[in-house]
Structure 1
Amino acid sequence: MPRYDYRCRACGTNFEVSRPMSEASAPASCPDGHDDTVKLLSTVAVTGAARGGAPAPPPAGGGGCCGGGCCG
């Protein structure tokens, strides 16, 4: 089940709520009971090895932040 990050505007607490994607836009109360909350933009980091345990191959064109041409 996805987790969504919120911040309470009343007390400044950051908290998470686990709920189905169908309820992603529903309001959430902070743990202290305040209703003035805002949903935060979350970033997702996916790490790990490719299938079979081998590391993922480098991107075509030499890698780097933009394909190898402008970062050197």
Structure 2
Amino acid sequence: MPTYEFRCRHCGTTFDVKRPMSAASEPAACPDGHTDTVKLLSMVSLGGRGGAPAAPAGGGCCGGGCCG
């Protein structure tokens, strides 16, 4: 089940909520009971090899070695 991160606009608390994707856009109350919250955008890494940076593709003048 995905975890979504929220921040309370009233007290500034950041908290996680686990819920199905079908309920991703539903509001969530903060642990202190405040209802004025906003869902935060989480950047998820998709692909790659265990956090290793992607190798440059080469070519062109942006890392291909053609500029001299």
The two structures share one fold, judged by TM-score above 0.5: yes
| Aligned alpha-carbon RMSD (Å) | 2.8
1:28 pairs with 2:28: yes
SS of residue matched to 1:22? helix
Match of residue 48, structure 1, among 38, 47, 50: 50
Secondary structure class of the residue paired with 2:15: strand
**Correspondence 1:1-40 to 2 at 5 A:** 1-40=1-40
> Paired residues, what number?
61
Query: Which runs of no fewer than 5 residues in structure 2 stay unpaired?
Result: none
Cα distance between partner residues in 1 of 2:11 and 2:32: 8
SS state at 1:17 partner: strand
- Structure 1 segments of 4+ aligned residues over 3 angstroms from their partners: none
Distance apart, 1:26 and its partner CA: 0.5
Aligned residue among 50, 62, 65 for 1:70:
62
Compute the TM-score of the two structures, normalised by the length of structure 1: 0.68
Name the TM-score, length of structure 2 as normaliser: 0.72
Q: Give the fraction of aligned pairs with identical amino acids, expressed as a percent.
A: 64
